[in-house]
Copies of this chain bind each other. A is one copy, B any other.
Amino acid sequence: MNRSSTSPAVRLVPATPRGQRTRQRLLQAAETVFGEKGYEHASIADITRAAEVALGTFYVYFPDKQSIFVEVVDELGARLRRLIAEAVAGCQGRIEVEREGLRTFFQFVARHRNLYRIVRQAEFVDEACFRRYYDLFARGYVAGLERAMAEGEVRRMDPEALAYCLMGLSDFLGMRWVLWQDEGGGPEHVLDTAMDFIRHGMDARPAGADTRSKKGTGKVRAPRSRKTTR
């Protein structure tokens, strides 16, 4: 139970274009079905039905249910990371990066309401895939934070720990106010609150001297060229 591959498995690419199309159809269908029913309750038959191919066709492209699931998760993660990287590309300052990243994440969740269900299932389907999902996010985060620390924009602290703080915080807010919503001021309000917390939490001039002297140091950094890999 929970065989787990340390690295994303090599995926055979079908020889013909027709095959490629079918494979894509299956992946798309799988994302939908896994999101709706959850991994355990999603049957291969559900997937092929959604993809409008015969049951046996599934096994032409994937050896089993786990494989296609892992691929779905990996792709979902890659897509989200790419999206955030793009959204954050033009930002000025780490705070802006954080806000933009968080906003993009909330949007993604709103559009892919099954993201949580899928990623969290991964923990039980393929532990390595699950960890990989967060690990890859953390790497980008860490790189960006280290740069910000080097430039004096963010207080010096363990960047990976900080990254997991920010990821956990985003994750829970997205769950509570995008997925569960109902009441509560909605994403925008929560985003403001979160940013208030985050800004102070990582500010390079937490309190005291800087602040006070803020006047003098007024110039503060001039963080150019963000290019946060994230």
Residues of A within 8 A of B (CB): 1-2, 37-38, 40-41, 81, 84-85, 88-94, 97, 101, 116-117, 120-121, 123-124, 131, 134, 136, 138-144, 146-148, 151-153, 155-162, 164-165, 167-173, 175-177, 180, 184-185, 189-190, 193-194, 196-198, 200-212, 214-215, 217-218, 220-230
CB-CB under 8 A from A200, the residues of chain B are: 155, 200-203, 206-207
Chain B residues contacting A94 (CB-CB under 8 Å) are 223, 228
**Cβ of A228: which chain B residues have Cβ within 8 Å of it?**
85, 88-89, 91, 94, 97, 138-140, 142-144, 146-147, 159-160
Give bound CA distance, A92 to B160, whole Å: 29
A131 → B minimal CB distance (Å): 7
Q: Known: A207-B211, A208-B212. Contact between A230 and B141, CB under 8 A?
A: yes
Contact across chains for A217 and B197 when beta carbons are under 8 A apart? no
Pairwise interchain contact B211-A157, C-beta atoms closer than 8 A: no
CB distance from A47 to the nearest CB of B (A): 15
| A-B pairs with lowest CB-CB distance, top 6 | A168-B172, A201-B201, A207-B211, A158-B223, A144-B228, A140-B230
